[in-house]
Amino acid sequence: MEKEEILQNVKDRIIRGKWNPGERIIELQLSRELSCGRAKVREALRQLEQEGFVTIIPNVGTVVSELSQKDIVQIYDLMGVLEGLSLRIATPFLAREVIARIEELVLGFEKSRNDPFLMSQHNFELHRFLTTLSGNERLIQFMENIRMHTYRMRLQTFYSEDQIEASIVEHRQILQAIKEKKAEEAEAIIRKHYQNAKERLIKRDYYTY
C-alpha cells in the first residue's frame, strides 16, 4: 500500500468518527491492519499532522487532533470568502446544464431533510461543486483540505429544525442569484450563508452549515 492510500485510509477513519478526537493512533497496529511498513505509516501521519488531522506528541505518539470552536470559526470565515470568490468568478459564464446541476443539488438537500446523514452528504456535495466552478486548482485543493475538518464534525451532530430551514432559504437565494447571473450578489449571499452558519454553531455548538 502506497503512502497516499494510507493517508486517505487514516483520514477517512477520522472524518467518519471511527477515531475520536484525542484518541491515540498506534503505528504498529495500523501498519499490521494495512499490511504495510511502519515507515510509510509514519510518513503518512506526518503529512496528516501538517494538514491538522493528527498531532504527534513526543514520548506519547500520534493522537487525533481536536478542533476548538475557534478553529471552526476561522475555517468558516475562510470558506465563505473562498467559495464566494469562486461564485463571483464563475457566475457570469455558467452554462445552463451547470445551473441545472446546482438546482438538482439544492433540491436533493431539501428532499433529504428527514435524514441528517444524507442531508449532510448533499450539502457537502453542493458546496464542493460550487467551489469547483472557479477552475482555480489551488483554491479548490485548499478548500478541500479545510472542508474535511468541518465534515468530520458534522457527522457527529444533527441538524436542528431552525438550521434546516435557514439553510434551505439561503441555498435558494444562492441559486436564484446564480440563475440571474448576479455574480457579486451570489458572492455576498454565500459569504453571509457561512457567517450565519458560524453564528448558529457558536450559539448551539453545532458544527454544520
Task: For residues 60 and 87, state if they share a domain.
Answer: no
Residue 209, pLDDT above cutoff 50: no
Q: Name the average pLDDT for the chain.
A: 87
As to burial, measured by CB atoms within 10 angstroms (0-12 exposed, 13-18 middle, 19+ buried), residue 39 is exposed
Q: From CA 194, how far away is CA 187, in angstroms rounded?
A: 11
Confidence of residue 206 (pLDDT cuts 50, 70, 90): very low
Q: From CA 82, how far away is CA 199, in angstroms rounded?
A: 18
Residue 168, pLDDT above cutoff 50: yes
pLDDT in tens, 18-54: 888 899 999 999 999 999 989 999 999 999 998 888 9
Could you tell me which of 24, 12, 18 has the C-alpha nearest to residue 54? 24
Confidence of residue 154 (pLDDT cuts 50, 70, 90): low
Q: What is the pLDDT of residue 66?
A: 82
Task: For residues 54 and 157, state if they share a domain.
Answer: no
- Residue 32 in any domain: the answer is yes
Confidence of residue 205 (pLDDT cuts 50, 70, 90): low
Confidence of residue 174 (pLDDT cuts 50, 70, 90): very high
Task: For residues 141 and 51, state if they share a domain.
Answer: no
Could you tell me which of 189, 164, 68 has the C-alpha nearest to residue 110? 164
Residue 202, pLDDT above cutoff 80: no
Confidence of residue 113 (pLDDT cuts 50, 70, 90): confident
Task: For residues 41 and 79, state if they share a domain.
Answer: no
Do 38 and 27 contact (CB within 8 A), yes or no?
yes
Task: For residues 83 and 60, state if they share a domain.
Answer: no
Task: For residues 169 and 106, state if they share a domain.
Answer: yes
pLDDT in tens, 56-90: 999 889 999 887 778 878 989 999 999 999 999 99
Q: What is the pLDDT of residue 81?
A: 96
Residue 170, pLDDT above cutoff 60: yes
Residue-range definition of the domain harbouring residue 188: 69-204
Task: For residues 19 and 90, state if they share a domain.
Answer: no
Q: What is the pLDDT of residue 96?
A: 96
Task: For residues 55 and 107, state if they share a domain.
Answer: no
Q: From CA 179, how far away is CA 181, in angstroms rounded?
A: 5
Q: From CA 79, how far away is CA 70, in angstroms rounded?
A: 14
Classified as helix, coil or strand, 54 is strand
- The secondary structure of residue 11, as a DSSP letter, is H
- Residue 181 in any domain: the answer is yes
Task: For residues 40 and 105, state if they share a domain.
Answer: no
Q: What is the pLDDT of residue 152?
A: 65
Q: Which three cell numbers stand for residue 183?
A: 455574480
